[in-house]
């Protein structure tokens, strides 16, 4: 009886520790968006500096996420989780103390490193601690807490920025991290994965490739698209990513086995995820600044006004989950992405310096409903597209591609904004934001079309009856 009580206590502690850690890491994806105007006013910096304030976190998070999981499997998940948490907490303090924009960008990059080590191990540690019979409920609570972080990010960031200072969006992490560190050491059990292998060449290839491309996109307008650094970034970055793909096909144990993309469901949901985050994150980056710099709202008011978009998944997700169980994931995901594309398009149609909030509301609500319809079935589609032994790799790949999409979205839409407008006047800001939003809407619309590659319920059921899993791997990418 005491042993069962100890197990229950261990599971409860694991749920609390991993959920709070996951909340912090997810919060830092969006918490900075409503603080950007205040950061720019206080520390200075051009558009590209603000882009790096966001992308330095998402990019390091994306490219090191699967590497961080592999380190935990090899050297101990609790040990690496606490190391990642310590790095994240220390980098948060460094960001709060940053004397200039360059120091802030560097601290944000280190934050991403800590999150990349910490985040993939939260689910592994939670799954190991919770008995199978209660695992679904525990994972549901964890997902709800993470969703709450995404929903409340702009509001928390805006409130702290307005009522205290923008530095407090980072100081907030420090006492929480310091409290979690001893709890993780005392309350989480250590675990390892047998024969875990670390793909250093793959990590270096994808890291260098994505950095080169994002660097070129962010600095293209300022330095000139034909300048040596920008052209070099595009050419070298593309070559390194091509090398990463080749490595994924030919290496025995790559961090991302490219053969998985031969499966229609895996290809469809992952490419759709990348495109959706590209359109969504790039749009939020600009719209959060529009609401303050052009519409004249305070940081808190801007965060509140974004809630119909970022908070809608908390309301609609249960309905979306029910629908996906009834009719399958493909129609729900595709419909959600289509609604989000329409929402961004409505925003682009009404946006002008004197636009009322009532005119913005339909775009916000449609975008939020669309986001919820995508998120609820996406994880299930990813997991069901691969064998059970490959679900960890599949989940890590999907999360990494989402973060890559976010970094690319800020870079691509920021480049469009810089080419067509600027910060000089309200009209200039609007002139740059509108075409960027159309690009974002187009990316999400393309994501909706890509989601149609996911096999329908009958096709998937037929595939489940195949005698050999290899047949699924050889399935061509076609509708």
410-469, pLDDT tens digit by residue? Answer: 888 988 888 888 888 888 889 999 999 999 999 999 999 998 888 866 554 444 443 334
d(CA 209, CA 213): 6
pLDDT digits (tens, 9 = 90+) for 13-29: 888 888 888 888 878 77
Of 361, 359, 363, nearest in space to 345 by CA: 363
pLDDT band, very low/low/confident/very high, at 106 (cuts 50, 70, 90): very high
Question: What is the distance between the terminal CA atoms of the chain, rounded to a whole angstrom?
Answer: 55
pLDDT for 270 beyond 70: yes
Of 444, 304, 312, nearest in space to 373 by CA: 312
| 318 compared with 357, residue with greater pLDDT | 357
pLDDT mean over 473-479: 35
Q: For residue 143, report the phi and psi dihedrals to the nearest 5 degrees.
A: -65, -40
Those residues whose C-beta lies under 8 Å from the C-beta of residue 435, and which sit 6 or more positions away, are: 348, 416, 417, 420
Least confident of 67-76, 214-223, 348-357: 214-223
CA 269 to chain centroid: 14
Six-digit token pair at 22? 């996951």
d(CA 429, CA 327): 43
Q: What is the pTM of this model?
A: 0.79
Q: For residue 355, report the phi and psi dihedrals to the nearest 5 degrees.
A: -65, 140
pLDDT for 61 beyond 70: yes
Six-digit token pair at 277? 């985050």
Least confident of 8-12, 29-33, 239-243, 308-312: 8-12
Q: What is the pLDDT of residue 56?
A: 86
Percent of the chain surpassing pLDDT 90: 18
Q: What is the pLDDT of residue 180?
A: 92
pLDDT band, very low/low/confident/very high, at 94 (cuts 50, 70, 90): very high
d(CA 368, CA 376): 12
d(CA 220, CA 227): 8
pLDDT mean over 241-256: 86
d(CA 22, CA 147): 10
CA angle 166, 56, 103 (to 5 degrees): 55
Q: Judge whether 387 and 263 are in contact, CB under 8 Å.
A: no
pLDDT averaged over every residue in the chain: 81
Percent of the chain surpassing pLDDT 70: 89
Q: What is the pLDDT of residue 415?
A: 85
d(CA 275, CA 336): 13
| Cα maximum dimension of the chain | 71
pLDDT band, very low/low/confident/very high, at 357 (cuts 50, 70, 90): confident
pLDDT band, very low/low/confident/very high, at 391 (cuts 50, 70, 90): low
CA 152 to chain centroid: 15
What is each CA distance from 285 to 280, 406, 433, in whole angstroms?
9, 10, 10
pLDDT digits (tens, 9 = 90+) for 144-180: 777 777 777 778 888 888 888 888 989 989 999 999 9
Q: What is the pLDDT of residue 177?
A: 92
pLDDT digits (tens, 9 = 90+) for 325-337: 777 778 888 999 9
pLDDT mean over 333-350: 92
Q: What is the pLDDT of residue 6?
A: 44
How many beta carbons lie within 10 A of that of residue 243, not counting itself?
17
d(CA 228, CA 418): 20
Q: What is the pLDDT of residue 89?
A: 95
pLDDT mean over 351-368: 88
pLDDT for 136 beyond 70: no
| 210 compared with 3, residue with greater pLDDT | 210
């Amino acid at each position: 009886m005491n042993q069962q009580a100890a197990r229950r206590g261990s599971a409860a502690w694991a749920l609390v520790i991993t959920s709070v850690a996951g909340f912090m890491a997810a919060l830092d994806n969006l918490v900075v968006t409503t603080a950007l105007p205040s950061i720019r006013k206080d520390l200075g910096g051009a558009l590209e500096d603000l882009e790096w304030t966001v992308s330095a976190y998402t990019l390091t998070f994306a490219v090191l996420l699967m590497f961080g999981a592999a380190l935990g499997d090899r050297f101990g998940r609790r040990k690496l989780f606490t190391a990642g948490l310590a790095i994240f907490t220390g980098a948060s303090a460094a960001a709060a103390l940053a004397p200039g924009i360059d120091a802030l960008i560097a601290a944000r990059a280190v934050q991403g490193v800590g999150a990349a080590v910490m985040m993939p191990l939260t689910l592994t540690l939670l799954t190991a601690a919770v008995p199978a019979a209660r695992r679904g409920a525990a994972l549901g609570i964890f997902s709800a807490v993470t969703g709450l972080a995404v929903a409340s990010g702009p509001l928390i960031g805006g409130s702290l920025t307005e009522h205290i200072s923008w530095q407090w969006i980072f100081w907030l992490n420090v006492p929480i991290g310091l409290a979690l560190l001893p709890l993780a050491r005392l309350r989480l059990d250590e675990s390892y994965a047998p024969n875990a292998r670390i793909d250093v060449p793959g990590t270096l290839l994808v890291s260098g490739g994505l950095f080169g491309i994002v660097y070129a996109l962010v600095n293209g307008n300022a330095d000139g698209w034909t300048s040596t650094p920008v052209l070099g970034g595009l050419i070298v970055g593309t070559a390194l990513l091509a090398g990463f793909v080749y490595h994924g096909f030919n290496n025995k144990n790559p961090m991302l086995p490219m053969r998985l993309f031969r499966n229609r469901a895996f290809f469809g949901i992952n490419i759709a995820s990348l495109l959706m985050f590209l359109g969504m994150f790039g749009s939020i980056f600009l719209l959060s600044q529009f609401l303050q710099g052009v519409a004249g709202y305070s940081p808190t008011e801007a965060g509140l006004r974004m809630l119909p978009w970022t908070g809608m998944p908390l309301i609609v997700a249960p309905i979306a989950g029910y629908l996906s169980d009834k009719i399958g994931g493909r129609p729900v995901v595709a419909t959600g992405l289509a609604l989000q594309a329409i929402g961004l398009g409505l925003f682009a149609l009404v946006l002008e310096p004197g636009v009322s909030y009532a005119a913005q509301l339909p775009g916000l609500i449609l975008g939020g409903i669309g986001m919820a319809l995508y998120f609820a079935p996406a994880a299930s589609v990813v997991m069901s597209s691969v064998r059970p032994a490959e679900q960890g790799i599949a989940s890590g790949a999907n999360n990494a591609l989402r973060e890559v999409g976010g970094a690319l979205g800020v870079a691509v839409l920021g480049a469009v904004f810089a080419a067509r407008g600027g910060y000089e006047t309200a009209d200039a800001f609007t002139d740059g934001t509108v075409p960027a939003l159309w690009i974002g809407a187009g990316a999400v619309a393309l994501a909706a079309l890509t989601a149609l590659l996911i096999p329908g319920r009958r096709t998937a059921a037929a595939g489940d009856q195949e005698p050999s899993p290899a047949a699924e791997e050889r399935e061509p990418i076609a509708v």
